[in-house]
Structure 1
Amino acid sequence: MLNCRTLFLSDIHLGCKNCQAGYLLNFLKNCHVDTIYLLGDIVDLWAMKKQVFWQVQQNQVVRQLLKMAEQGTEIIYIPGNHDEAFRLYAGKSFGAISIQLRSQHTTLQGLRLLLLHGDEFDKQVQLAHWHRRLGDHLYDLLLFLNRWNNRFRQRIQRPYFSLAAYIKSKVPGAQQAIARYRSAAVAKAKRAGYDGIVCGHIHHPEITLQDGILYCNNGDWIDSCTALVEQQDGSLALYHCAETYQQLRVWSAHNRQQQQLSQVA
């Protein structure tokens, strides 16, 4: 059982055939948490316009979140671009779930974090229209290959492997787009006077310090299967949640101080 103060999730894409709802459901059932931030693209209304793909496990994810809310977990839902229709309900609450356009969170270690989905940075990334469309089609192909690759791996009792993430890591253009996105997010947090920013949108989990600002991307649930967690001591940890809860990276106030000192030296 993972006992934590805060859980940050985004890009679940319920209603999409690539949604890894089974892994998320298992994670949520084994997670005791005070507050959950849902940072957009929780429901994929874009995909559902073409074809509704709603498995039993996806319905169970919704029920599990509602159950956790009923049991006292505070849930803040910040819609993204794929579920932007819910932005019309910003400022309203549905039971224990409140909808906001953006939010902020202060960790136990005193870090003030700006919370948003991240689609507002698309203009700063500045991908040409044809390039973006080509990228969407290639990513869909990668997710298709990823889905069937992991079905085969399950049959031979091998752990989950993100084929899509592996291929993206080898494509220079993808890495440049991620870097531009990160810089835009960091600049936004710095202008607003925050210590860091937590977002999703680009399906690339990461915790790093850039220009004195902590950048956290909690990843997604169609590819990387990752979540950002504030642990009981206030440190932030990135978890890979497929098969086992593997801790990928931990960031605390000590890390920040050490990196700042090394930059001064």
Structure 2
Amino acid sequence: MFGVLDDAGIDLEGLAGLGGAVDEPHELSGDHEPSRYRTVFISDIHLGTPGCQAEALLDFLKHHPSDTLYLVGDIIDGWQLRRKWFWPQTHNDVVQKLLRRSRKGSRVVFVPGNHDEFARQFDGQHFGGIEVAHEAVHTLLDGRRLWVVHGDHFDGVIQCAKWLAYVGDNLYGVTLTLNRHLNSLRARMGLPYWSLSQYLKHKVKRAVNHVTHFERAVAAEARHRGYQGVVCGHIHRPEMRTIDGTLYANDGDWVESLSALVEHLDGRLELLHWQPRQRVGDAVEMREQPVGMPA
């Protein structure tokens, strides 16, 4: 994607070329005409892992064109690719889709996370029309300024015990494998997608407390820097609320929640969940579930 080798020898330019460019790769049928948005924020795609829901993301991007697209970190999972190479055609299709979005006139800004931290060394550079920035500032239609950052710097596990983060990442991968098998069974039974990993995280008190501390820390730093809000990812938990007068928005992920934050043309912010319902041949019927905006 970036025409260089990272520290692990990953050919980032080659990722975008695997399988060749396709004009409209694996874009699945939707049930409504696409609406244009002023801004779309997505993060934690984790390309290069079996847990990445690339087909769902391709369909979401098809139905949500925007003037600006922010990629808020962990787009490519360098941690997993170092351990074991995994790069199916659908992951290549996502890279091609993002590059094509830029070529067609959208501004695409990539803010690297901890899993794709190799890209942080390219802060301020452009690759394939995609801007790379360690952090960004987005101005809403009403003039409010939002700090856009992945958020891993506010994770005590990442900062104080990175080895523990790697262990947790492996255990998380096991949970996602179980999650895929469970949802294959649910699909055969005609049941909607359900995230086992999200359910477990919401039930474990320490995990809930960790998320709460993370949210408050990120919002406090945004307020300290003079911003009216923050958009981040990292913890795979979509959320939008006001914390001590500062807007906190987490756009979620494309492993568990299948969610994104969007700014409508009239300036409204909304969290969207893109929910796979059932498979019919090679097509997936998708349903959009809006989540309310805080007052």
Both structures adopt the same fold (TM-score exceeding 0.5): yes
CA shift in 2, pair 1:134/1:57, >3 Å = closer
Q: Give me the whole-angstrom Cα distance separating, in 2, the residues matched to 1:158 and 1:202.
A: 26
> Are the equivalent residues in 1 in contact too, given 2:157–2:165 (CA < 8 A)?
no
Which stretch shows the higher mean deviation, 164-173 or 71-80?
164-173
Cα distance, 1:141 vs. partner? 2.7
Kept in 2, the 8 Å contact 1:15–1:58? The answer is yes
> Structure 1 residues 4 and 59, CA, compared in 2 at 3 Å: closer, same or farther?
same
Opposite residue 158 of structure 1, the aligned amino acid is L
Match of 1:259 in 2: none
The answer (yes or no) to whether the contact 1:226–1:240 under 8 Å persists in 2 is: yes
C-alpha distance in 2, partners of 1:105/1:222? 25
Looking at structure 2, the residues matched to 53 and 126 of structure 1 have their Cα atoms a distance apart, in angstroms, of 27
Provide TM-score, normalisation by structure 2. Answer: 0.80
Q: Deviations over 1:123-175 (max 9, x none)?
A: 38988778756644442332122111112222233221112112211111110
Question: Counterparts in 2 of 1:19-38, with a 5 A limit?
Answer: 19-38=52-71
Are 2:291 and 1:249 equivalent residues in the alignment?
A: yes
State the aligned residue count. Answer: 253
Any unmatched runs of 5+ in structure 1? 257-265
Larger helix fraction of residues: 1
> Which of 120, 128, 133 is residue 100 of structure 1 equivalent to?
133
Which residue, out of 208, 212, 216, partners 2:245? 212
Counterpart CA distance in 2 for 1:145 and 1:122 is: 26
1:200–1:220 Cα contact (<8 Å) kept: yes
Residue 46 of structure 2 corresponds to which residue in structure 1?
13
Q: Equivalent residue of 2:178, what SS?
A: helix
Question: 2:41·2:70 contact (CA, 8 Å) conserved in 1?
Answer: yes
Distance 1:127 1:2, change over 3 A: farther
Question: Counterparts of 1:50 and 1:215 in 2: how far apart (Å)?
Answer: 34
Q: Is the 8 A contact 2:275 2:289 kept in 1?
A: no
Moved more, 113-122 or 239-248: 239-248
Q: Secondary structure at the match of 2:155?
A: helix
1:36-72 CA-partner distances (Å, limit 9, x unpaired): 0001110001100011111111111111111111111
Q: 1:175 to 1:237 in 2, by over 3 A?
A: same
1:246 maps to amino acid: E
**2:125 aligned with 1:69, yes or no?**
no
Which portions of structure 1, spanning 4 or more consecutive aligned residues, are displaced by more than 6 angstroms? 124-131
Q: TM-score, normalised by structure 1?
A: 0.89
Aligned equivalents of 2:240, 2:103: Cα separation in 1: 31
Between the aligned residues of both structures, percent identity stands at 44
Give the distance between the partners of 2:92 and 2:275, measured in 1 at CA. 19
Which residue number in structure 2 is paired with residue 181 of structure 1? 214
Range with greater deviation from structure 2 (131-140 or 159-168): 131-140
Structure 1 vs Structure 2 CA RMSD: 2.0
Q: Gaps spanning 5+ residues in structure 2: where?
A: 1-33, 277-285
